[in-house]
C-alpha cells in the first residue's frame, strides 16, 4: 500500500502521517489490512522531521502535472487530499484559490481517472460550504450555499469528487470538518484562525484578539479527533457509504464567549484575560456565514466520533501540544 497526503507538510498532514506510520497498515479495497510501504508527503515546502524509510517528502505544486505524476501513480492506493488555500487567503487572492482549491482538485481527480486503478480518495471539506440564511442545525439534505470563495471552491471540489466516484474513477469520500481547534503553532490566514488563537495564545503567555461577536457560534473538532476521523474515513467500508459519499463529521457547538469562559474555568482568570475583543467585519462576515451545528447522526452511525465538549478540546490541546510549545 502506497499512500499520498497532499498538504503533507501542513499541520493536519503531518499529524496524519505520524498516525499512519504508527499504525502501519490501511485496509485495501477488499477490506484487508495492508502494510504502508511508502508515504508520500506532497506540499509546497518539504515535510521535515520524519526519520522513517517509508516517508518520501516531496516539495512541489500539486497543480503542476509533472509534480502530480511523480506523487500519484498506479501504485498509490490511498490519497488524503488535504492541500488547500485557506479561507482568508482564498478571499484575498481569488485566482490562487480557484487554481489550487478548484482546478487543482479537479486535476488530481483527472490524474486518478487516467491511471484507472480506482484509488481511495479522502477529501477534507469544511463548514464553509454552508452559508446565508441557514437553519439552526444544518441537516444532511441542506443545500450548499457558500458565502466565501473558499466555501465555493470546496463545494465544487465535493461535487467533482462525488461525480468521479459515481463514474467509477475513484473510491471517493468527502469529510466535512468542523473548524479544527485548538491548532498548535502560529496564526494562519484562515478566517477561523482565532478559533485556535484565543485558547492557544493565552496558554502560551501571549495576548490574543477575538475578531467576532462573543455570541458567534462555532462548530469545532479537536485535531486529535480530526485525525481519528480522517483515518476512519479511509477505513469505513465502501458499501456502508453507498452513494452518499459526503459525511458531516461530529463537532461541538460553542460561542466565542463560551470558549473564553471555558479557558477561564480550566486555566484561570489571568490567562483568560489575555483575550481582547476587537471585531473585524471581514472575518465576522465569513465566519458568521458558517453553521453553528449540523446533524451528526449519520456520521455516528458510520463510526465517526467527535469531542465530548469544548472543555475536552481545550484539555486535548494542553495534553497533546502545550508541552511541545515549551510554555504554560
Stretch that binds its own copies, among 11-19, 116-124, 155-163, 230-238 (CB under 8 A): 155-163
**Contact (Cβ atoms closer than 8 angstroms) between residue 233 and residue 225:** no
Residues 186-222: b if buried by 16+ CB within 10 A, e if exposed: eebebbbbbbbbbbbbbbbeeebbbbbeeebbbbbbb
- Strands 25-27, 33-35: pairing is antiparallel
**Contact (Cβ atoms closer than 8 angstroms) between residue 259 and residue 218:** yes
Among 61, 93, 140, 264, binds its own copies (CB under 8 A): 140
> Counting contacts by CB under 8 A, is residue 92 touching its own copies?
no
CA distance 183 to 200: 8
Nearest residue (CB) to its own copies, 61 versus 140:
140
**Contact (Cβ atoms closer than 8 angstroms) between residue 292 and residue 142:** no
Stretch that binds its own copies, among 31-39, 41-49, 129-137, 233-241 (CB under 8 A): 129-137
> Counting contacts by CB under 8 A, is residue 135 touching its own copies?
yes
> Counting contacts by CB under 8 A, is residue 233 touching its own copies?
no
Among 167, 186, 276, 327, binds its own copies (CB under 8 A): 167
Among 29, 92, 96, 143, binds its own copies (CB under 8 A): 143
Q: How far is the CB of 48 from its own copies (least distance, A)?
A: 36
> Counting contacts by CB under 8 A, is residue 162 touching its own copies?
yes
Could you give the 3-state DSSP secondary structure of residue 244?
coil
CA distance 142 to 150: 18
The number of residues that bind its own copies (CB under 8 A) is 24
Among 23, 114, 186, 244, binds its own copies (CB under 8 A): 244
Alpha carbon 132 to chain centroid distance? 22
> Counting contacts by CB under 8 A, is residue 146 touching its own copies?
yes
CA distance 163 to 157: 10
Cis bond before residue 94 (omega within 30° of 0):
no
> Counting contacts by CB under 8 A, is residue 152 touching its own copies?
yes
Q: How far is the CB of 28 from its own copies (least distance, A)?
A: 27
Ramachandran assignment for 46, one of left (phi > 0), alpha (psi -120 to 50 degrees), beta (any other): beta
Report 295-314 residues binding its own copies (CB under 8 A). Answer: none
Active-site residue, from 123, 130, 150, 164: 150
Stretch that binds its own copies, among 26-34, 144-152, 207-215, 268-276 (CB under 8 A): 144-152
Q: How far is the CB of 235 from its own copies (least distance, A)?
A: 24
> Counting contacts by CB under 8 A, is residue 94 touching its own copies?
yes
Query: Is 317 among the residues known to form the active site?
Result: no
Nearest residue to 68 via CA among 103, 96, 93, 34: 103
- Catalytic residue numbers? 150
Residues engaged in binding its own copies (CB under 8 A): 94, 132-133, 135, 140-147, 149, 152, 155-156, 159-160, 162-163, 166-167, 243-244
Amino acid at each position: 500500500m502506497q499512500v499520498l497526503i497532499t498538504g503533507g507538510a501542513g499541520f493536519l498532514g503531518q499529524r496524519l502521517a505520524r498516525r499512519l506510520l504508527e499504525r502501519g497498515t490501511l485496509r485495501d479495497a477488499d477490506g484487508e489490512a495492508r502494510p504502508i510501504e511508502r508515504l508520500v508527503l506532497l506540499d509546497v515546502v518539504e515535510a521535515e522531521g520524519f526519520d522513517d524509510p517509508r516517508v518520501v517528502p516531496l516539495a512541489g505544486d500539486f497543480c503542476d502535472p509533472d509534480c502530480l505524476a511523480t506523487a500519484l501513480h498506479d501504485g498509490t492506493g490511498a490519497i488524503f487530499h488535504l492541500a488547500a488555500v485557506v479561507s482568508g487567503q482564498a478571499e484575498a487572492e481569488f485566482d490562487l484559490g480557484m487554481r489550487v482549491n478548484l482546478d487543482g482538485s479537479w486535476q488530481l481527480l483527472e490524474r486518478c481517472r487516467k491511471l484507472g486503478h480506482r484509488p481511495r480518495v479522502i477529501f477534507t471539506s469544511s463548514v464553509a460550504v454552508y452559508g446565508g440564511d441557514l437553519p439552526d442545525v444544518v441537516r444532511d439534505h441542506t443545500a450548499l450555499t457558500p458565502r466565501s470563495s473558499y466555501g465555493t471552491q470546496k463545494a465544487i471540489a465535493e461535487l467533482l469528487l462525488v461525480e468521479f466516484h459515481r463514474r467509477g474513477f475513484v473510491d471517493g469520500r468527502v469529510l466535512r470538518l468542523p473548524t479544527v481547534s485548538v491548532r498548535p503553532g502560529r496564526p494562519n490566514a484562515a478566517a477561523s484562525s482565532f478559533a485556535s488563537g484565543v485558547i492557544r495564545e493565552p496558554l502560551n503567555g501571549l495576548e490574543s484578539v477575538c475578531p467576532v461577536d462573543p455570541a458567534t457560534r462555532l462548530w469545532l473538532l479537536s485535531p486529535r479527533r480530526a485525525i481519528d476521523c480522517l483515518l476512519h474515513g479511509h477505513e469505513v467500508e465502501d458499501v456502508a457509504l453507498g452513494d452518499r459519499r459526503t459525511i458531516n463529521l461530529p463537532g461541538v457547538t460553542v460561542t466565542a464567549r463560551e470558549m473564553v469562559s471555558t479557558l477561564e474555568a480550566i486555566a484561570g482568570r489571568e490567562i483568560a484575560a489575555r483575550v481582547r475583543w476587537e471585531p473585524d467585519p471581514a472575518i465576522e462576515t465569513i465566519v458568521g456565514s458558517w453553521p453553528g451545528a449540523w446533524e451528526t447522526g449519520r456520521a455516528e452511525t458510520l463510526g465517526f466520533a467527535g469531542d465530548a465538549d469544548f472543555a475536552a478540546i481545550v484539555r486535548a490541546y494542553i495534553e497533546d501540544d502545550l508541552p511541545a510549545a515549551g510554555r504554560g
